Structure 1
Amino acid sequence: MYIYPKIEENLLTNLSIKNFALIEDVSLQLQNDFTIITGETGAGKSILLGALSLIIGKRADITAVRNPEKKCVVEGLFKVSAYQLEAFFTKNDLDYEPDTIIRREILPSGKSRAFVNDTPVTLQKLSLLGNQLIDIHSQHETLSLGEVNYQFKVIDALANHKDNLIQFKEKLSVYKSLVHELEALKESQREAKAAYDYNLFLVTELREVDLKPGIQEDLEEKFKTLNNVEELKENLSASSFHLEQEEVGVLAVLREVKNNLSRLENFSESYKELYERVQSSLLELEDVSEEVARLESKMEDDPEELSLVNEKLQQLYNLQRKHDLESVEDLLALRNELEEKVSSSENAEEELKDLENKIEAAKKEALAIAQALYKARKKEIPNFIKMMEAILAQIGMPDAKLNIEILPQQEFNVHGIDKMNWLLAANKGGNFKEIKKAASGGELSRITLAVKSILAVYGKLPTIIFDEIDTGVSGDVAQKMGDIMLGMSAEMQVIAITHLPQIAAKGKQHLKVYKETQKNITTTNIEQLDAERRIMEIAEMLGGKEKSSSAIAHAKQLLN
């Protein structure tokens, strides 16, 4: 018998289902050992799995609601104190409770809601939590044995290198991102190279013009001045004449007014204020007169300067029209952009080399972790094969041999650098074939149970649910499969939906699913069987509804 190492207790203690499928209102108390669920075909055993799937994050189906005018509610109580989930609750802004309640509701409108300890959560968060609380093994999962991802999951659980897997995925993501960046850079440089000559011509053309903020306004003002010299000189000269004309000029008259008021300033403050105002005006006009004279003296007709300024302005206007821009600032922005493109082309080799060096470094980091993963898996495989063959021998496959090929590859994949393949020789002297091709349906069920029994221990799953994993087996093999599940239940909560009396008799708790019809309405109910009713249920599983004395005796024998 395979020995299951001790793990912490975590379990689903209560399950309440209301208005779901054929269930109107059911409340179950589940034990922390081996629970059996039986019932006739079509009684509704799969409904239980459907309800459980809701509280671990599966998508809801409005058609599963029994009465569309009422909401459907599925609620589970989980003991999680020993499962180190505090960090998960904190990270996801959830209230941590040792007795955690997960509730799922489907409203009449079709809207689905999920709650953890009365806090609303998304399905994604619920799924992350649910996957750490329950592992549901459905009948179709036997097909997973042939899937590469499943095979890696099993070996990685035994190798216990979760942190390395996380680090590898992070390093691989960095490596792939850099490779993608390199491809984009090469494409960009190909395009830049094709446009290099044209861009260089445009940059040179823009560099030849003295582009700086405000230059256009300065040139336009200078052009206006040079283009109107005669008019400016004429008006400046006339202004100077009227200001400075002897005896009758503005300044001469104002000086006379000033002299007159100077004789009155001592008579009162009013006269003094008038005098000071005239004095101030005189000073201002004298300054104006000097500025007019200065501007007039500078004013010269300069056709060459006018032509040069006009030429510069036309260059600016032409560039703006050419590039459909409105200002010198826009031209400056265009010049900077083109200079970057030209620089990118001119420094292409250096930039490519720098990125290639980064890629090589990232590849080395990812490869180092991938190689460590490969070595850990290769080391653990013989131990896994030994455990598998020992369990298979117990459940009717004594000659089955398992071979796991694992080889390092040149390219990375999501698991590292390994290629893995599980091969099985089901019978003595048989050839090794891919496991999904080498085993029958019943053998696949037994192999899956063996894998699950090991994975549940190393993966430390709190609750494992088997949905008719005994399909395709009977008799002594079924009894031994029951022993395997019973052994697992000594250290973890195991729930098995079964149609075999040999397995049903192994359970510590026995639930029966049945349908009844009242007033033309069919309802699925679930009851916990006491010792006497359990004998009758197993006898019925053995011999049919008549329950012969021999079937009852056989049922008692199985239970004992």
Structure 2
Amino acid sequence: MIEEIRISSLGVIDESVLELGPGLSVITGETGAGKTMLVTALGLLLGNRADSGAVRTGARAARVDGVVRVDAAVVQAVEELGGEVEDGVVLLARQITAEGRSRAFVGGASVPVSALSGLADGLVAVHGQSDQHRLLRPEAQREALDEFAGKSVTTPLRDYTARFSRLKEVESELHEVTTHARERAREADLLRLGLSEIEAVAPQPGEDAALAAEEARLGHADTLRTAAESARAALSADEGPDATGALAAARRALESVREHDGDAAALSDRVAEMGYLLADLATDVASYSAAVETDPARLAAVSERRAALTALTRKYGDSIDEVLAWAAQAVTRLTELDDSDEHLERLREESTRLRAELTDLAGRLSSARKVAASRLAGAVTRELHSLSMPHALLEVVVGDAGRFTPTGVDEVDFLLAANTGMAARPLGKGASGGELSRVMLGLEVVLAGTRTAPTFVFDEVDAGIGGKAAVEVGRRLAALARHAQVLVVTHLPQVAAFAEQHVVVRKSGDGSVTTSGLTVLDDAGRVQELSRMLAGLEESDTAMAHAKELLDLARASV
């Protein structure tokens, strides 16, 4: 239940606080005074889209705060968002800047605006004139019937929706497989061709790099051998000077003075160590030189093998390792393509099974909806009789759409016969604005027993209604308020007379800036406001007498 709404710099409202209690509260005021701004403010608290144009001219930001008493389920949701609840009361807040930025708070914690929307269903049900037009749409009528039916529909509908979604996926895949069968066959042939080429060559990982090195060595064998022989001779020649002989002479010279100086001894040792290394190096160079052979046959074989590998890398990768990776992927893909016939059969079997299950679930949905349709039609018809439509008859027809839809195979139509002898016609064709308002109100009263929202807000849903019918609308709203908090924005004095709390929105201005304030009326104030609503005159004796009569009638009826 909403206990308080505080509004700052929103539209024509500069700064206002509205305290609300249980039962029926009405909001009245002259046209343009800002009555609907209260509903706008409440919508912002419930996560509706923010409009920077709603920020009061000259203000940096608009802000709406709401103090709401919540049940255990909402308490848990608030705590999961990081907010705090004290004594069953949570503070909701929404701020909109003139630049269009929006911030939301739940229990003191900053949260995404979507978090407010998530809490909305458990807090408030808002209905405006747009909901009357929404009621004309078949999907809205079906939703109302399903809501009234409760678990008898929602349980099979949940299972149906899951299977319907899977059927769409299966049939989409079936279409894909069958439509692109030729492309898949062509792709499989290309993959097989590529794999056969690779299999014929049978490349090994890293083989291309190894053969390139071997080809370079074989192609320059004479040059390599000549260089190796020259290096060997320079290191250790059979005749003439060489590095080994020079190093031996250096060692003998240092050894001769070894005993005279420690540094000379150390140098002699280093020269000796280099002599050993040089001897090993000379041996290795000699071995390399002996190993280099000219082998024209091997060179030709290597060149031929490299040409075969190059033919693969031109098509399937920059290196043999990439070619082998492509081959592995091709095998996997080819397995998928070759399995297409079996996969197609599996998809067809699943589609057949899903359609059978959907047929069964759709039958259960239709049966449950037809049972609920009869009860809903009777309940709303009784409400219409209480709303000064004594001969009205509402019919809820559940027809066959002839195909699976996301919600079953049913088409739901609300038909209204407003008077005796009239044929029942769809709401969009046979109902006037006032009749449509009463149908929606009657439906709301009936559905109230199935909803958990503790607060109902009606924004001028009584448009097009007057006279005795307006009195009955007020009486039904008062009856609804016995079970929930009801907040009504209205222009009808007959409705306002039934309020337990009457709030008037008054407009004042200095010629350039308009401000609106909220005032909770006492009995005398209510008489004045009702007389203004009746006759446009607050001091008219006749209007005030009529206003008092309305109040007496309402109090006697509650």
- Regarding TM over 0.5, the answer is yes
**Who is 2:63 aligned against?**
73
1:316 aligns with 2:309: yes
TM-score (norm 2): 0.84
How far apart in 2 are the matches of 1:374 and 1:24?
52
Counterpart contact for 1:513–1:527, Cα < 8 Å: yes
Deviation of the 1:288 alpha carbon: 8.3
How far apart in 2 are the matches of 1:346 and 1:557?
86
1:102 aligns with 2:102: no
Deviation of the 1:371 alpha carbon: 4.2
| Structure 1 residues 536 and 278: CA distance shift in structure 2, 3 A | closer
Deviates more, 1:216-225 or 1:435-444: 216-225
1:509 aligns with 2:501: yes
Aligned amino acid, residue 150 of structure 1 = A
Deviation of the 1:395 alpha carbon: 1.1
* Correspondence 1:237-276 to 2 at 5 A: none
Deviation of the 1:33 alpha carbon: 0.1
**Who is 1:412 aligned against?**
404
1:557 aligns with 2:537: no
1:12 aligns with 2:2: yes
1:493 aligns with 2:482: no
How far apart in 1 are the matches of 2:286 and 2:544?
130
Deviates more, 1:346-355 or 1:113-122: 346-355
| Structure 1 residues 278 and 540: CA distance shift in structure 2, 3 A | closer
Task: Give the count of matched residue pairs.
Answer: 544
**Who is 1:212 aligned against?**
204
Q: Deviations over 1:386-407 (max 9, x none)?
A: 1011111111222222222224
| Structure 1 residues 101 and 362: CA distance shift in structure 2, 3 A | farther
| Structure 1 residues 40 and 294: CA distance shift in structure 2, 3 A | closer
Which SS does the other structure have where 1:513 is aligned?
Answer: strand
| Structure 1 residues 203 and 529: CA distance shift in structure 2, 3 A | same
Q: Which has the higher contact order (CA 8 A, sep 6+)?
A: 1
Deviates more, 1:312-321 or 1:229-238: 229-238
**Who is 2:132 aligned against?**
142
Counterpart contact for 2:10–2:55, Cα < 8 Å: yes
* Correspondence 1:168-207 to 2 at 5 A: 168-186=160-178, 189-207=181-199
Which SS does the other structure have where 2:48 is aligned?
Answer: coil
**Who is 2:418 aligned against?**
426
| Structure 1 residues 446 and 279: CA distance shift in structure 2, 3 A | closer
1:43 aligns with 2:36: no
Q: Deviations over 1:430-472 (max 9, x none)?
A: 2222122111111111101001111222122211112222222
| Structure 1 residues 279 and 57: CA distance shift in structure 2, 3 A | closer
Counterpart contact for 1:241–1:249, Cα < 8 Å: no
How far apart in 1 are the matches of 2:212 and 2:102?
70
Q: Deviations over 1:301-349 (max 9, x none)?
A: 54433322211101222333455x4321222233333334443333221
How far apart in 1 are the matches of 2:176 and 2:232?
71
Choose from 446, 455, 475 the match for 1:454: 446
**Who is 1:264 aligned against?**
none
1:354 aligns with 2:353: no
How far apart in 2 are the matches of 1:228 and 1:39?
105
How far apart in 1 are the matches of 2:110 and 2:45?
13
Deviates more, 1:420-429 or 1:538-547: 538-547
Q: Percent identity?
A: 29
Aligned amino acid, residue 492 of structure 1 = A
Which SS does the other structure have where 2:508 is aligned?
Answer: strand
Deviation of the 1:360 alpha carbon: 4.7
Deviation of the 1:164 alpha carbon: 4.9
* Correspondence 1:129-168 to 2 at 5 A: 129-161=119-151, 162=154, 164-168=156-160
Which SS does the other structure have where 1:442 is aligned?
Answer: helix
Aligned amino acid, residue 313 of structure 1 = R
Deviates more, 1:88-97 or 1:13-22: 88-97
| Structure 1 residues 555 and 77: CA distance shift in structure 2, 3 A | same
Deviates more, 1:154-163 or 1:369-378: 369-378
1:476 aligns with 2:468: yes
* Correspondence 1:513-528 to 2 at 5 A: 513-518=505-510, 520-528=512-520
How far apart in 2 are the matches of 1:237 and 1:521?
106
Aligned amino acid, residue 312 of structure 2 = L
How far apart in 2 are the matches of 1:91 and 1:370?
37
Which SS does the other structure have where 1:132 is aligned?
Answer: coil
**Who is 2:106 aligned against?**
116
How far apart in 1 are the matches of 2:528 and 2:235?
131
**Who is 1:33 aligned against?**
23
1:543 aligns with 2:535: yes
How far apart in 2 are the matches of 1:184 and 1:281?
78
| Structure 1 residues 294 and 14: CA distance shift in structure 2, 3 A | closer
Counterpart contact for 1:243–1:249, Cα < 8 Å: no
Aligned amino acid, residue 312 of structure 1 = R
How far apart in 2 are the matches of 1:372 and 1:435?
27
1:307 aligns with 2:300: yes
1:89 aligns with 2:71: no
Q: Deviations over 1:244-295 (max 9, x none)?
A: 9999999x99xx99xx9xxxxxx9xx99xx99x9899889968986996698
Counterpart contact for 2:25–2:487, Cα < 8 Å: yes
Deviates more, 1:238-247 or 1:400-409: 238-247
Which SS does the other structure have where 1:16 is aligned?
Answer: strand
Which SS does the other structure have where 2:423 is aligned?
Answer: coil
How far apart in 2 are the matches of 1:122 and 1:243?
82
| Structure 1 residues 477 and 63: CA distance shift in structure 2, 3 A | same
Choose from 38, 44, 59 the match for 1:54: 44
TM-score (norm 1): 0.83
Which SS does the other structure have where 1:208 is aligned?
Answer: helix
Which SS does the other structure have where 2:526 is aligned?
Answer: helix
Counterpart contact for 2:135–2:440, Cα < 8 Å: yes
Deviates more, 1:367-376 or 1:59-68: 367-376
Deviates more, 1:19-28 or 1:394-403: 394-403
**Who is 1:334 aligned against?**
326
How far apart in 2 are the matches of 1:509 and 1:547?
22
Counterpart contact for 2:27–2:490, Cα < 8 Å: yes
1:390 aligns with 2:382: yes
- What RMSD in Å do the two structures reach over aligned CA positions? 3.9
Deviation of the 1:515 alpha carbon: 1.6
| Structure 1 residues 295 and 87: CA distance shift in structure 2, 3 A | farther
How far apart in 2 are the matches of 1:336 and 1:38?
76
How far apart in 2 are the matches of 1:95 and 1:170?
36
Counterpart contact for 1:236–1:293, Cα < 8 Å: no
| Structure 1 residues 371 and 292: CA distance shift in structure 2, 3 A | farther
